[in-house]
Amino acid sequence: MSKIAKLFRWHKKVEIKEGDKVLDTVYVRLVGDAEFQEAKNLSLTRSKALRIKLRNPETDEYKASFSDLETLTRDELLMGITFGEIADYRDEALLQMPEKEIPPLPDSPSLEEQENYEEMVRARQMERAESLTKYIEKRADERKAELSKIEDIGKLREMYTHSIINLKCSEEFTKSFREYQIYKGTFKDAKFQELAFDSFEEYSQCSSRLKDMLLTAYVSLELTGEELKN
Amino acid sequence: MGIWRIVKDLKFPLHRSLLELSVSEYPHTINYVIKRRMQIDSYLELPEDKRPPRSIWDKPSELEEWFDRVFSDGSKQTEFSLPVKEDEIER
């Protein structure tokens, strides 16, 4: 399916099934700008709240995440720190290796020129994805080498905690961001007038199986950031 | 790009699936693409030597620097003058 066709495929009917039996039918659509922004604000609030809890050693959230902190080996701490920083390496890679400008097709291109052009665009995209992966792996190795010079294990534990808190907050942000969009994008009717869930809490308490079905449907309608830009 | 220009110039609905929606109800992905298209169109209206390179389209601070550089004569404006004719002032 071409990108333009996918862009206009922004809603779908979803049958909630138990085996072959259809239990209910809902209609999922991509949310508009206002709901998208609402989802962002709510996710930032939740991520901030989690960060506050994870920074307090008295909370259950801290205990659940860091109860084994004192028993972790140096290698495990290094792995944890770099694992938590992978999103940073990815952002760094995107900044260091901006997408190269693709020369435009000549005027009135022949069919063969168009075919070759498409092939060249695909090859460039593959090449870029490989370069980004290599950059991230190299950066993680460099970071591990850098961290292995730190002798103070207390310092490593502090860095590990910081890195894992960032990772968990980032996961919380992504989860809430996605779930709020699905809540606001799931309707009882095909005209998208009546939300299928009375509240976000109601959606949040649904079975994970139902949430997975709606997530699959919602994600299938989306285009990635790179697809939207190009 | 071709489709967007044709739709804009002929004032066609963007897509039949959007006919019953107001613009504020458009999916965020479509809104993003429209805004992006308008951004690119505005760059293409500039003389070639003033168009920002694609590599900085998503970097607001670099874009700002680019426009400051290509649209300034190198000197910063430090004062303004407001010509006022005294006889035209309402008393």
Instruction: Report pTM.
Output: 0.76
Is B38 inside a domain boundary?
yes
The pLDDT value given to residue B11: 65
Verify whether the Cβ–Cβ distance A10 to B25 is below 8 Å: no
Nearest to A33 among B17, B18, B28 (CB): B28
**Nearest CB partner across the interface for B24, out of A11, A32, A228:** A32
Residue B60 covered by a domain: no
> Is B28 inside a domain boundary?
yes
Domain count, chain B: 1
d(CA A143, CA A15): 47
The answer to whether residue B7 is domain-embedded is: yes
CA B57, CA B64: separation in Å to the nearest integer?
10
- A222 and B24 in contact by Cβ < 8 A? no
B5 within a domain of the structure (yes/no) = yes
In a domain, B41, yes or no: yes
User: How far does the CA of residue B26 sit from the closest CA of chain A (Å)?
Assistant: 5
Going by pLDDT thresholds of 50, 70 and 90, the confidence category of residue B13 is low
| Minimal C-alpha gap between A196 and chain B (Å) | 17
Supply the DSSP symbol for A67: T
Backbone angle region of B74, left / alpha / beta, with phi > 0 → left and psi within -120 to 50 → alpha: left
* ipTM attached to this prediction: 0.71
pLDDT for res B22: 75
Contact between chains at B29 and A4 (C-beta distance less than 8 A): no
Residue A207: its pLDDT value, please?
Answer: 92
* DSSP category for residue A21: E
Chain A within 8 Å of B5 (Cβ-Cβ)?
A: no
| B25, B33, B58 member nearest A32 (Cβ) | B25
Name A170's Cβ contacts closer than 8 Å, sequence gap at least 6: A47, A87
Under 8 Å between Cβ of B70 and B50? yes
Can you tell me the mean pLDDT for B72-76?
A: 62
Domain that holds residue B33: 1-55
Class of residue A26 by CB neighbours under 10 A (exposed 0-12, middle 13-18, buried 19+): buried
Identify the CA nearest to A4 among candidates A172, A230, A212, A219: A230
pLDDT at position B76 is 53
Provide the token pair at A182. Answer: 């699905």
For residue B49, tell me if it sits in a domain.
yes
pLDDT of chain A, 230 residues: tens digit per residue: 667 778 888 899 999 988 889 999 999 999 999 999 999 999 999 999 999 999 999 999 999 999 999 999 999 999 999 999 998 999 899 888 877 777 778 888 899 999 998 899 899 989 999 999 999 999 999 999 999 999 999 999 999 999 999 999 999 999 999 999 999 999 999 999 999 999 999 999 999 999 999 999 999 998 877 677 76
| Separation CA A133–CA A211 (nearest Å) | 31
- pLDDT exceeds 60 at position B1: no
Q: Tell me if B3 is assigned to some domain.
A: yes
Place of tokens 């050693």: A57
Contact present, A182 and A215 (Cβ < 8 Å)? yes
pLDDT tens track for B25-71:
889 998 888 888 888 889 988 999 999 998 888 888 999 999 999 98
